[in-house]
Amino acid sequence: MSTTAAVATVTYTLKAMIQTELSADAVVTGSKVTAAPPDKARSGNTGNQVNVFLYRISIDPAWRNMDAPGTRPGETGQPPLPLILSYLITAYGDTEDDILAHRLLGIAMGVLNDSPILSRAEIAKIADKVAGGSGLDQQVELIRITPDPRPQDEISRMWTTFGTGYRLSVSYDAAVVLIDSAEAPVAPMPVLVRGIGDRGPTATTVFPPQIDMVVAPGMWGAARPGDTVTLIGRNLAAASAIQVTGVRLTAPVTLQPRVSATGEITVQIPNPSSAPAGTPSLPAGTVALAALYDAGVGTPVPGPAAPLALAPMIESKAPLKAKLDGTGAATLQINCQPEVLPGQTVALVVGSTIVPTESPPKASSQLSFALTKLAKKSTYPLRLRVDSIDSIPVAGEAPAPENASEPAPMALDPAQTLVTS
């Protein structure tokens, strides 16, 4: 494969091929081949000259999403960078003689017509002119030179961009140049055993339990520590346990399901403040619940999972208080459950103002927030936001009044408010 010097190598090779043919023509002996922008090509040059200008580099779409050459099935690697190099070739005659310029341009076009593919030998000839070498002569795809017939108005606009007078020119594409990625491919470990006793996969007629939805209590769409959630799905009676996974969990957590008198499958979210010692804690954020079942492979396996939002809780039995300074600022300390883990995003919503704070360096249930621009003798509802999930600022769903068709309106939990003085 090629290195990042491949682009320069193609330009060197084209220059060398054209220079060889110009030197062999007795009429234009002494001609020079350059690779400069058209507005600078004639600076200090008055003789016969052919200029090869790389004016555009584009990506080859056919190669863009292909696997890296040399990778085997199952291996992953960054694909090479596939480039199409577009060149503008312009000729200048001695003392601006256009007849000589036309002859020079004809020679250059003849070279590229007779050598539509850059041979590995041609590329290898100029390898010593590129510092460190490019490996272009070893790439898997040969480089093809094809004319690029651009409309006259586009060519005119191109010369206007150069800021110099128009010269008769031709455009060619060189493709494809494959620049190898610096990232090494990754090969997976070989499979040593295909199944128990190396028998291969086990076929079973057991339909896996599938959780389609996890319903949290109330109308908030999130469950708090200690809440019981309802699992809705298919074949849930076959579930032996519920597995909880998430990006903040270092290992899956297993919970035991319960079957209600009506046949509903429920599971309780652990509450760190009341659970026995050793009970695993689930951090606030989004987790996935899957039913474990016996598939006949020796250990329970999980079925399809469904997401669940876990809300944090502000631990307080009375309104929080803050004494403001003259600018309306104060520092507020709160306790919460579950513990906030390092790396989690944390903020406190005071009324409608979001007050962020840094993630703790280690798991902690105590957080500190710097409040600003608050009004004295005011009451603000509080919501703790962890990994984009807000705490539920109500104590619970109010009971429905007798003979009412809908529950009574819910009220904010006074213990989750801030009173300023």
204-310: CATH topology: Immunoglobulin-like (2.60.40)
Is the pLDDT assigned to residue 58 strictly greater than 90? yes
As given in the structure block, the two tokens for residue 73 are: 């099935």
Q: What is the mean pLDDT of residues 66-94?
A: 85
In the chain, % of residues over pLDDT 70:
91
Closest CA to 284 of 387, 373, 165: 387
Question: Which has more confidence, 194 or 88?
Answer: 88
Provide the pLDDT confidence category of residue 398 given band limits of 50, 70 and 90.
very low
Please, which pLDDT band fits residue 397 given cuts at 50, 70 and 90?
A: low
More confident position, 262 or 6: 6
Identify the CA nearest to 60 among candidates 144, 149, 178: 178
Sheet of 32-34, strands arranged across: 32-34, 49-59, 81-92, 169-179, 143-147, 117-118
Task: Lowest mean pLDDT of 69-73, 142-146, 206-210, 242-246, name the range.
Answer: 69-73
Res 186 pLDDT > 80: yes
Residue in the block written with tokens 């109500």: 394
Greater pLDDT, 281 or 357: 357
What pLDDT, on the 0 to 100 scale, is given for residue 264? 86
**What are the C-alpha distances in Å from 261 to residues 33, 108, 227, 264, 265?**
91, 89, 18, 7, 10
Residues 240-259, mean pLDDT to the nearest whole number? 92
Mean pLDDT of the chain: 87
pLDDT average, residue stretch 178-198: 78
313-392+413-420 matches 204-310 in CATH topology: yes
User: Tokens 């312009």, residue?
Assistant: 90
Return the higher-pLDDT residue of 291 and 400: 291
Beta bridge partners of 306: 289
Tell me which residue of 92, 20, 112 sits closest to 50, measured CA to CA.
92
Of the pLDDT bands very low, low, confident and very high (cuts 50, 70, 90), residue 36 is: very high
Per-residue confidence band for 400, with pLDDT thresholds at 50, 70 and 90: very low
Lateral strand order in the sheet of 241-245: 222-223, 301-310, 285-293, 241-245, 253-255
Query: What pLDDT sits at residue 127?
Result: 66
Measure Cα distances from 391 to 59, 192, 416 in Å: 49, 48, 10
Position 171 confidence tier, pLDDT thresholds 50, 70, 90: very high
**Average pLDDT for residues 143-152, to the nearest whole number?**
89
Q: Is the confidence at residue 98, as pLDDT, over 70?
A: yes
Average pLDDT over residues 263-283: 83
Q: Please report, for the chain, the start and end positions of each structural domain, with discontinuous segments joined by +.
A: 6-179, 204-310, 313-392+413-420
Of 63-77, 155-169, 218-232, the least confident? 63-77
- Residue 67's alpha-carbon distances to 70, 129, 135, 140, in angstroms, are 9, 31, 19, 13
* Higher local confidence (pLDDT), 416 or 156: 416
Distance between CA atoms of residues 107 and 112, nearest Å: 9
Amino acid at 293: Y
Band (208; pLDDT cuts 50, 70, 90): confident
Q: How confident is the model at residue 406 (pLDDT cuts 50, 70, 90)?
A: low
In the predicted model, is pLDDT for residue 217 greater than 80? Answer: yes
Secondary structure of 354-408 in the HEC alphabet? EEEECCCCCCEEEEEEEECCCCCCCEEEEEEEECCEECCCECCCCCCCCCCCCCC
Mean pLDDT of 227-241: 90
Amino acid at 133: G
- What kind of fold does domain 313-392+413-420 have according to CATH? Immunoglobulin-like (2.60.40)
Nearest-10 Cα torsion for 373, 377, 383, 388: -10
d(CA 364, CA 346): 12
Give the pairing of strands 330-340 and 301-310: unpaired
Question: Degrees (nearest 5) of the Cα angle 263, 267, 268?
Answer: 135
Three-class secondary structure of residue 62 per DSSP: helix
Quick one: average pLDDT of 392-414? 65
pLDDT at 377: 92
Residue 401 has pLDDT above 60, yes or no: no
**Which range is least confidently modeled, 219-228, 314-323, 343-352?**
219-228
For residue 131, what pLDDT band results from cuts at 50, 70 and 90?
low
Give the mean model confidence (pLDDT) for residues 259-276.
82
Stated as kind and residue range, the H or E segment containing 63 is helix 61-64
